[in-house]
Amino acid sequence: MIFSCFSDHVHSLVTVIGPLVLIASIYLLYYLRSPLHKLPYPPGPPEKGLISGNQSDLPASRPCLTYIEWGKKYGDIIHYRTYNKHTVVLNAYDDNVELLDKRSLIYSDRPYLAIMDLMGWLDFNAAFMRYGAKWRSHRRVLQQILKPEASANFRSAQARKNLDLLYGLLTTPEDFSNHYRTLAAAIIMSTMYGHDVARKNDHYVDLAEDAIAHMSGGFAFVTSLLHSFPTIRYLPAFLPGFAFKRFALEGRKLALDMRNIPLSIVEGKMKDGTAADCVAVDLLESCQSDKQRETIAGVIATTYAGKTCITVSSMGTFFYAMALFPDVQQRAKQELDAVIGCDRLITYKDRPLLLYVEALFREVMRWRPVVPLSVAHAGTSDDVYKGYYIPKGASIVSNLWAIAHNPERYPEPDTFNPSRFFDEDGKLNKDDVGYVFGFGRRICPGRHLASDSVWLTIATVLQNFDIRKKQDSNGEEIPISGEYSDGLLSHPHPFECSITSRSAASRDLILDAIGKFSM
């Protein structure tokens, strides 16, 4: 029995390692014997290994900052190679527009991400799918339910769930991070699945956060050998150095549960006639095949994950920035008091009137981008740009952090300063920081829904609450570390702050609104 088990593992090793050796040999022969391309690759760090290339140069954390340092030496377009994989990093906004927007016919694919495949995300999430018929069918439905005019239909539910957050800040302000995390999931669960989440410890909120945290953490393995040699994913998980497989198997169950469980509950309610109006019901009523149902499950779960990511990260940054920059907070409140007052809660209709609040929203999105490095695009054919050769299949990475912190575009980029979005005439400029949602055909389809949600929360929280650093028993301010998570998604580590109602009028305004919604 033991010998048989050992024999099976040896066979697995030979089955997988054999092709790897062959691939490496063929690549080495190609690299040594093939004529050089007439045009050079974009500049980048010199390769340290004939076969491994720049593998040893890749940073263990915060790669966006490493790419900025490389950019100072090699330019805004950077190339590096890891084994048989080429990567081109774009640090400049204009280069991203030229390649990913204007040449989207070439650059709308994704590189194959073995870690996302192992974790199940590649099966259903349009953000990671390869370009093709399946992706187009998912994207078509996403655009149908998330286009601007459709997103406007969600505003009533968004306002109702936002009111729950305001009530939470009023009653248990110390739990503010849980309130905005719940808000992120509550809006999607209500609009997509017709489910009202509990204000605290909701199963679906916890499920989504755990699944997304695993997904984000999985990107730590994108620069590993797994990316260059994806067949090693078939080796047993107990082998040394195969932590990625154990991690992926844990995340796979979470991802598939997030996709399947809420939709199954909706289907059950549809059968017994108790389903609430929601996107899932609308889509399922016209569903005519298992394939369509699979698309519906994937599309809604993609929306669920994407919207939750953006809201959680952006709101964490908002509270952090307000505690850190009281002068900015005060200026926003002066505008709110002058334009709206305290007789009613702010609504979406007020957005065009609140110029400084709009600038503050943009600065939240710019200052700490939710996704510092975009999910890579991939080229479907060879291309030439600015005299450089970009090979078919190369990963094209948008360094969104570099764009958002370019000192030529944003002087003193590390300072939180909404005034940078005003022109000399005191009007908002044309920079809406839309780049934080990506480029080309892979731009986030839920950006309008996310923008509406984050803006309303920022405006109503500032209207009704004061946010400050927390003080210790001696009256001294407790410093905030300012540390952020590292992975695909970036959000602040847990921190404390003081949140208090601005006045009795603010308190009454929230309680009255809660009462009206409860009637």
Count CB-CB contacts under 10 A for residue 40. 11
| pLDDT tens track for 407-417 | 999 999 999 99
Kindly state whether residue 164 falls inside one of the protein's structural domains: yes
Kindly state whether residue 17 falls inside one of the protein's structural domains: no
Find the mean pLDDT for residues 52-77.
93
| pLDDT tens track for 373-396 | 999 999 999 999 999 999 999 999
| pLDDT tens track for 95-118 | 999 999 999 999 999 999 888 888
pLDDT at position 224: 67
One DSSP character per residue, 437-489 reads G-SGGGS-TTHHHHHHHHHHHHHHHHHHEEEEE-B-TTSPBPP----B--SSS
In degrees to the nearest 10, what's the CA dihedral of 190, 174, 514, 339? -100
pLDDT at position 391: 95
Sign of CA dihedral 439, 443, 444, 450: positive
What is the identity of the amino acid at 130?
A: R
- CA atoms within 13 Å, Cβ hemisphere of 74: 20
What whole-number percentage of the chain has pLDDT above 70? 92
- pLDDT above 60 (res 3): no
Q: What order of strands is seen across the sheet that includes strand 377-378?
A: 77-82, 85-90, 395-398, 377-378
Kindly state whether residue 46 falls inside one of the protein's structural domains: yes
Question: Using CA atoms, how far apart are residues 309 and 307, in angstroms rounded to an integer?
Answer: 5
Kindly state whether residue 316 falls inside one of the protein's structural domains: yes
Kindly state whether residue 2 falls inside one of the protein's structural domains: no
| pLDDT tens track for 342-360 | 889 999 999 999 999 999 9
pLDDT at position 378: 96
| pLDDT tens track for 176-199 | 999 998 888 888 888 889 888 777
444 assigned binding-site residue = yes
Kindly state whether residue 328 falls inside one of the protein's structural domains: yes
Burial of 273 (0-12, 13-18, 19+ CB in 10 A): exposed
Specify the CATH number for the domain of residue 385. Answer: 1.10.630.10
Q: In which residue are the tokens 């008091």 written? A: 337
- For 111, which DSSP code? -
Structure tokens at 108: 């709308």
Kindly state whether residue 24 falls inside one of the protein's structural domains: no
Least confident of 28-32, 146-150, 152-156, 172-176: 28-32
Kindly state whether residue 365 falls inside one of the protein's structural domains: yes
pLDDT at position 315: 95
- pLDDT above 70 (res 14): no
pTM: 0.88
pLDDT at position 222: 66
Question: Using CA atoms, how far apart are residues 311 and 184, in angstroms rounded to an integer?
Answer: 6
Question: Using CA atoms, how far apart are residues 432 and 28, in angstroms rounded to an integer?
Answer: 47
Burial 503-512 (b: 16+ CB within 10 A, else e): eeebeebbee
- pLDDT above 50 (res 7): no
- pLDDT above 60 (res 2): no
The maximal CA–CA distance of the chain, rounded, in angstroms, is 81
End-to-end CA distance of the chain: 68
Domain count, the chain: 1
Nearest to residue 51, comparing CAs of 80, 27, 22, 20? 27
Instruction: Specify which of 144-148, 188-192, 374-378, 448-452 reaches the highest per-range mean pLDDT.
Output: 374-378
Question: Using CA atoms, how far apart are residues 151 and 456, in angstroms rounded to an integer?
Answer: 14
Collapse the DSSP code of 393 into the 3-class scheme (helix H, G, I; strand E, B; otherwise coil) and give the result. coil
Domain holding 148, by residue range, is 36-518
Find the mean pLDDT for residues 142-151.
83
Structure tokens at 27: 């690549």
- pLDDT above 60 (res 22): no
CA distances from residue 183 to 312, 493, 505, 518 in whole angstroms, order as listed: 8, 18, 24, 18
In degrees to the nearest 10, what's the CA dihedral of 181, 182, 187, 192? 100
Nearest to residue 312, comparing CAs of 186, 469, 124, 156? 186
Query: At residue 495, what are phi and psi to the nearest 5 degrees?
Result: -145, 165
